Structure 1
Amino acid sequence: MAESKQSAEVTVSDVHKTIRAAFEAFDYESNNTVDVREIGTIIYSLGCFPTQADLHDLIAEVEEDHTGFIQLDSFLPVMSKVLLEHKFPPIPEDLLLQAFEVLDKEKKGYLEPEELMKYMTQEGELFTQEEMDEMLTALADHEKNVVFYKDLISQLTIDPDM
């Protein structure tokens, strides 16, 4: 009995370490605070993919006094619960591939950054221009100026045993 309780504590400790590391990557002033606009990126980096409505609700829960900043102390327990309960799981890899293949009408294996930007800012759950700029900077093949979506999918999907 004590063994299972101890392993559960290790899991929570590991979750806390993972969340802290993701949070600290965006804590530019090292004061346990991040800009509220970074929270979505932090959550996505942790393998959680909430809808924009869910993300808005989560931010409302952890942002204090609408300051535009999130404290680690507020974020940690909420995000720990999200991770431990496996909320906001990623879309399975095969469904993501099917979605990209629908968008890639010519079956080229890639999308032009402009095409991807159009789809992501005008259809479905809309991304902001800032989010798209960050995404394209990170994901586009800058030599060929395209986004190879099979590479993108491998970056977007997370090993479920992580």
Structure 2
Amino acid sequence: MDQDISLLITSDLEKKISDCFLIFDHHGNKTVDVREIGTIIRYLGCVPSEDEINEIISATESEDSSGTITLSKFLPHVTQLLAEHKMEAASPEKLLAAFKVLDVDSKGYLTKEYMSKVMMQDGEPFTQEELDEMLSSAVDAQTGKIPYEYYINSLMVDI
């Protein structure tokens, strides 16, 4: 089926990608279901859009359209994307600038309701699950608001 890819891994980046891919290889045959690609890419620390995930799938899916992706096609494609710094998370400075754009009154916080509306309606909308996860760590339990500088700092600690 797939050639022995272990002989082709030549860098730490390729090893990291391969190791991550193999976590999701449930059949032990160096393939994953296309539905796992977004999870794999995010597990690698990337922040892809749905379009970027679909592009990766299109570029690496098996020719027989069986809904699988082989490590031998995935590895070189994703290695190149990561080497080119594609899909990287935004810097703290960019995150702060984005929050400040949303905070038109310069209050230093956003309301949960306003943030929910923005995240579900503007740009590439969050799923309800993604929104709930974000809000669970962003909203201050005492005030019910999102003090965004504190939130950004907490994100950087997690990284």
1:21 is aligned to 19
The code of the aligned residue for 2:72 comes to: D
The code of the aligned residue for 2:40 comes to: I
Q: What is the distance in 1 between the residues matched to 2:92 and 2:26?
A: 36
Structure 1: where are the runs of 5+ without partners?
Answer: 1-10
* Matched-pair contact (CA < 8 Å) for 2:109–2:145: no
What pairs with 1:19-58 in structure 2 (closer than 5 Å)? 19-25=17-23, 27=24, 29-31=26-28, 32-58=30-56
What pairs with 1:56-135 in structure 2 (closer than 5 Å)? 56-64=54-62, 65-104=64-103, 107=107, 109=109, 112=112, 115-127=114-126, 129=127, 132-134=128-130
In the superposition, relative to structure 1, how do residues 52 and 156 fare at CA in structure 2: closer, same or farther (>3 Å)?
farther
Give 3-state SS (helix, strand or coil) of 1:118's partner: helix
Give 3-state SS (helix, strand or coil) of 1:140's partner: helix
Structure 2: where are the runs of 5+ without partners?
Answer: 1-8
In the superposition, relative to structure 1, how do residues 51 and 133 fare at CA in structure 2: closer, same or farther (>3 Å)?
closer
Q: What is the distance in 2 between the residues matched to 1:134 and 1:98?
A: 22
Q: CA deviation at 1:86?
A: 2.4
1:5 is aligned to none
Q: Which has the higher contact order (CA 8 A, sep 6+)?
A: 1
User: If the length of structure 1 is used for normalisation, what is the TM-score?
Assistant: 0.62
* Matched-pair contact (CA < 8 Å) for 2:34–2:69: yes
Give 3-state SS (helix, strand or coil) of 1:87's partner: coil
Q: CA deviation at 1:119?
A: 2.0
In the superposition, relative to structure 1, how do residues 154 and 62 fare at CA in structure 2: closer, same or farther (>3 Å)?
farther
User: If the length of structure 2 is used for normalisation, what is the TM-score?
Assistant: 0.63
1:136 is aligned to 132
Q: CA deviation at 1:62?
A: 1.1
